[in-house]
Chains A and B, each alone.
Chain A
Amino acid sequence: MGPRTESSIIVEASSVSKRFGARPAVDQLSLRVPAGVCYGLLGPNGAGKTTTLRMIYGVTRPDSGTVRVFGIDIGRDPRSVRSRLGVTLQQNVLIEELSPEENLRVFGRYHLIREPELSRRAHELIGFLELGSHAKVPVRQLSGGFQRRLAIALSLMNRPEFLILDEPTTGLDPAVRLALWSRIRDLKAEGTTALLTTHYMDEAQRLCDTVAIISAGKVMDEGAPSDLIAQRLARETVELDCSPSEEPALLNGLSPTPQRLRVGRRLMVYLDDATRLIEHIRKLDQGQRRSLIARPTNLEDVFLALTGTSLEGGV
């Protein structure tokens, strides 16, 4: 492990803004990532997640606001900041003609790591990410899961204190995702701070201590996943198919009117106790089959409520 920072805040972004042309991509965004946590950045496509990450490792310069990483102003000394962090880009950047082992060596040289340390770390990471069976095969022949693992391995070559992961598990099968989650937890246990983006709310809920939900470049809310759920919505969710015209009849008699969220024909109703509503609907339907499930409210509901379809009622 590298030397720990004096301050226990790894990233401190203070009202950073970035526009491309007339469109703001990031708008007065502030963010604090304390040491040792896994911090999730959630938001719809185009919300500004990647742009925020790029400002943090210093390749996008904010129009206004400041970013400090390890207490250092990234605009002033990007080299020393980047020598201590690792980034897995949203899109894999691998040298397809070369093997994983060679890719790791080429990447390690960007950090000025020399032999024999270079080979030592490459082998270590091949073991850590279970790439051993494919270590000498050209990357072009590897499956998406192996390529993603290699991309993550590259970002670990300099043994970073702080790891930035832009959608680490997008497009991967469940087994590979589980494997990667457990690797991220291992790193966290060793003291690595992580900042990741994801479109998978289950991933954020399982992996992240804190999440920020951003939309149109602004932070809509921030907190521990369980706190966000508890603060924003009722405990249970009834999810059913119904048209807007049927809705009043189905919810008739519930007082006060519960919070609900509609995405097309799908209606989500949030309440502390779902049983009464379910019984009411069953009675109205008289044995007709309707797609309906009751489940605990999760981060996805909060995400949709904050970024997607407008939430009606309650609050």
Chain B
Amino acid sequence: MAPDNRPVVQMRGVTKIYRSGSGSRTVEVRALAGVDLSIYPGEYVALMGPSGSGKSTLMHIIGLLDTPTEGEYWLGGEPVRGLSEAQLARIRNQRVGFVFQAFFLLPRLTALHNVALPLVYRGLPAAERLKRARAALEAVGLGDRLDHLPSELSGGQKQRVAIARALVQEPDLLLADEPTGNLDSRSSDEILGLFDALHRQGKTIVMVTHEPDVGARAQRIVRLRDGRVAEGGMV
């Protein structure tokens, strides 16, 4: 599929260096070493590579949870460099939806309130938040589990709540870091089916995975090796 519009994600020479320790004992880890990458609206991209190759780091930078040490990054055509912490938070809230391997649901909140959480930071009134959260849960097939606590849900259901929480934000970009890593094969299939469906609806998805059959469902595979894009950067 030929990209025919402006990229959602555009990166040039993005480098991330982690420093730990202090003084002469400082250790530098070059997690990303000059990444060039573009992702276009409606794409379903699998981010693959061996463990430690920088997949999570790249995803955090794409999702504005982290900032590059060097290089340029445009999200939706706008440069990220120089944005304040509060501006980054606002963009995360409005344009990026995260799905994590470990679900990260708040254990004391019901499914409905977990899903409504991102909208709290958007300043929406409670009734509106819950209305949208209910719709999002229904969209992932959990309309009958609104008032369940995470502890009362199976792994696959938890991940669907997490996906609903990302969808409720109506983000430009859905970022999933090994979303099936904690699931059995049947639940994995369910979740991957859900991502397929979201892709068909036109959502832009970036999914980190190291399982080839998971990657195979994506439209494009970006392979990382030692912090560099080895294949599929498509710039």
Answer yes or no: are A and B bound together in one complex.
Answer: no
Question: Taking beta carbons and an 8 Å cutoff, which residues of B are in contact with A?
Answer: none
